[in-house]
Amino acid sequence: MLNSFKNLFTSTKSSKNFYQVVGEESGVYKLVRNFYEIMETDPKAIDCLKSHELVKNKIPDEVKKKLFMFLCGWFGGPNLFVEAYGHPRMRARHMHVKISTREKTQWLYCMKKALKKHPVKISRSEKKKILNSFTALALRIQNIA
């Protein structure tokens, strides 16, 4: 099933998948780092931040590492998350967290800002495809209207 996702993340203009487009492992790492930095500091993301179990008002490194591992595989790179934890089952893994339209919107806001801040040049059309994919993922894990 995860291999079928790889086709979703392959750019039609080139043979690069999104893992390559964002800069492979170091690019995914930077995207995740920027994403959580925005979530931890931007008042517009406060509800999304508070939906996490925080340690000294920060999201634990283990949570950040899991998103990094998931995105590596989801974007078409190595399946680090699957190798360590099994199938992502994203909706099931997030059922214990209240994810309403507000948290979903704030999560996407942080990801959009992280993509804008990303040091690797990504074309507008590829950013749009990535954001559309994140939107579909966020809609799948939203569990409260």
Q: What is the pLDDT of residues 63-77, one digit of tens each?
A: 999 999 999 999 999
Q: What is the pLDDT of residue 145?
A: 87
- The pLDDT value recorded for residue 63 is 97
User: Counting runs of H as helices and runs of E as strands, what totals does the chain give?
Assistant: 9, 0
Q: What are the Cα distances from residue 11, in Å, to 15, 19, 53, 83, 115?
A: 6, 10, 36, 25, 17
pLDDT (0 to 100) of residue 14:
60
Return the higher-pLDDT residue of 7 and 39: 39
What's residue 2's pLDDT? 53
* In the predicted structure, residue 5 carries a pLDDT above the cut 70: no
Predicted structure pTM score: 0.89
Percentage of the chain modeled with pLDDT above 90? 88
**Secondary structure of 70-108 in the HEC alphabet?**
HHHHHCCCCCHHHHHHCCCCHHHHCCCCCCCHHHHHHHH
pLDDT of residue 4: 47
Tens digits of residue pLDDT in 77-110:
999 999 999 999 999 999 999 999 999 999 999 9
